[in-house]
Amino acid sequence: MSENSESTLWKRNVFVLWFGVFMTGIALSEVIPFLALYIDTLGDFNKNELTFYSGAVFAITFLVTAVVSPFWGKLADRKGRKLMMLRAALGMAIVLFLMGYVSNVWQLFALRALQGVMGGFVSNSNALIATQTPKEHAGHALGILVTGMTAGNLLGPLFGGTLASLVSYRMSFHITGVILFLVFLLTLFLVKEEPVKISPRTARASTAQLWHAVPNKQLILGLFITTMLVQTVNTSINPIVSLFVRELTHNASNTTFIAGVVAAMPGVATVIAAPQFGKIGDRVGTDRMIKIGFMIAVVAFVPTAFVTSIFMLMVFRFIVGISDATMLPAVQTLLSKNSPMAMTSRIFSYNQSFQALGSVMGPMFGALIASMFDYRGIFIFSALLIILNAILFNFNVKITQKK
């Protein structure tokens, strides 16, 4: 293959998979504005029942994803990442489409669980880009993919809320399902995966045997924990963001809109900055980028606890997004550099499991801290969690360097 065609190939893969992970992010977050309202149409529930069912239906997708991701990663390492992405895209398309036909909350719960089973598009996209992109461009390419997932999560509530208001809750699921089927077709016809040569002995080896041969196990486990804690911090504000905004604006009439803007700030910053930080990480070192990200996060979270205006809250939330843009592509790049070719997908799938756990833990911790120490306590808690994250990461890097 010529150098020019190889360059075109990896760039095309990145472009198509960016759209795929973007729509996956949309599919995961679009229900936020109307999930409780949709569930309310499926039965006669009191306030407590509606709150419980809404939380359970939303969380089950992430819990199931955390459990099944390693299985799909193992299969991807043996059968190919593209095949697993096709399975995930088609599965999500069917499941989302069917959500528009449910007649009770348990059917919706089951389909949300099945949506978690059909996960793996993001982790296998990362694994494919990590293994098929020239090493000198890996950080930049993975940085671009991070913006896709982040943009999807960011725009998902806006996309879902707009669709639901223009058509209906049920039609919103149908339309999303059709778009995910388009992702399936684009992946099928445009994504190219060059076969990775693995010895028959390695192909037959179990995950435990392959893991035993990994030289930097402690670093990889540390990166999993870094991902989980970053996601925990990112989602900890979710339960109270509108309440905190209402407090700062003294019950302004446009609280919902302002809360949406505040919630969007980290995602906007990550989308803008992640590709550039990915490039910088390729030059100055990925572990250094992660350390810089920790410092930026602490600088952002501590003052947030003392803000007295919406403008300052938006500024500091934007800086949080810059810290994410510094860390997330660097974590993906370090994982790809330290993963044996025979288990790259498994490594990225385990990382997705830890990220999913962070998505469940964040709102739980946020609600608990807010009930104990008021809304502002969440930001101090987040800063302490980031400091703990930084200490663990530095310890793991030093241990790895001594080997």
Output the domain CATH number for residue 116. Answer: 1.20.1250.20
Tell me, rounded to whole angstroms, the distance of Cα 298 from its chain centroid: 21
Boundary (domain end) residue, out of 196, 227, 254: 196
Q: Which residues contact 355 (CB under 8 A, 6 or more apart)?
A: 227, 228, 231
pLDDT of residue 294: 95
Looking at residue 109, what is its pLDDT?
A: 95
Q: 148, 164, 196: which is the final residue of a domain?
A: 196
Which of 308, 329, 323, 322 minimizes the C-alpha distance to 390?
A: 323
C-alpha 119 chain-centroid distance: 12
> What is the maximum alpha-carbon separation in the chain?
66
Per-residue confidence (pLDDT) for residue 401, from 0 to 100: 67
Q: 61 to each of 4, 95, 143, 296, 353, how far by Cα in Å? A: 41, 12, 25, 31, 11
pTM of the model: 0.84
71: which 2 tokens?
């299985």
Full pLDDT tens readout for the chain, 403 residues:
455 556 678 889 999 999 999 999 888 888 877 788 888 899 998 878 887 888 888 889 989 999 999 899 888 888 889 999 999 999 999 999 999 999 999 999 999 999 999 988 998 998 899 888 887 788 788 888 888 888 888 788 878 888 888 888 899 999 999 999 999 999 999 999 887 666 556 656 667 777 777 778 888 999 999 999 999 998 888 767 777 888 888 877 777 678 778 888 888 888 888 888 877 877 887 888 899 999 999 999 999 999 999 999 999 999 999 999 888 888 888 888 888 877 888 888 899 899 999 988 988 888 888 888 888 999 999 999 999 999 999 988 887 766 5
The 10 Å CB-count burial string (b at 16+, else e) for 12-34 is: ebbebbbbbbbbbbbbbbbbbbb
Are 183 and 246 part of one and the same domain?
no
CB 62 within 8 A of CB 75: no
- Whether residue 228 is found in the same domain as residue 179: no
Same domain, 313 and 398: yes
Cα-based distances in Å from 52 to 44, 47, 375: 14, 9, 22
The total number of residues shown for the chain amounts to 403
Residues 180 and 212 in one domain: no
269 and 160 fall within a common domain: no
Structure tokens, 132: 């098929």
Helices (H), 285-343: 286-304, 310-338
Cβ atoms 13, 79 nearer than 8 A: no
Domain check: are 119 and 260 in the same one?
A: no
CA 167, 242, 61, 152 dihedral sign is: positive
Instruction: Output the six-digit token pair for 106.
Output: 């348990």
What does the angle CA 345 – CA 338 – CA 360 come to, to the nearest 5 degrees? 55
Q: Which among 186, 158, 184, 190 is positioned nearest to 97, based on CA atoms?
A: 184
Stated as kind and residue range, the H or E segment containing 379 is: helix 377-402
Same domain, 382 and 401: yes
Domain check: are 237 and 171 in the same one? no
As a whole number of angstroms, the distance between CA 135 and CA 289 comes to 17
Domain boundary among 180, 196, 212: 196
Same domain, 303 and 365: yes
Residues 175, 230 share a domain: no
Q: Identify whether residues 133 and 221 lie together within a single domain.
A: no
Domain range spanning residue 333?
203-403
Q: Cα torsion at 162, 165, 167, 170 (round to 10°)?
A: 90
Number of domains the chain contains = 2
**169 shares its domain with 274:** no
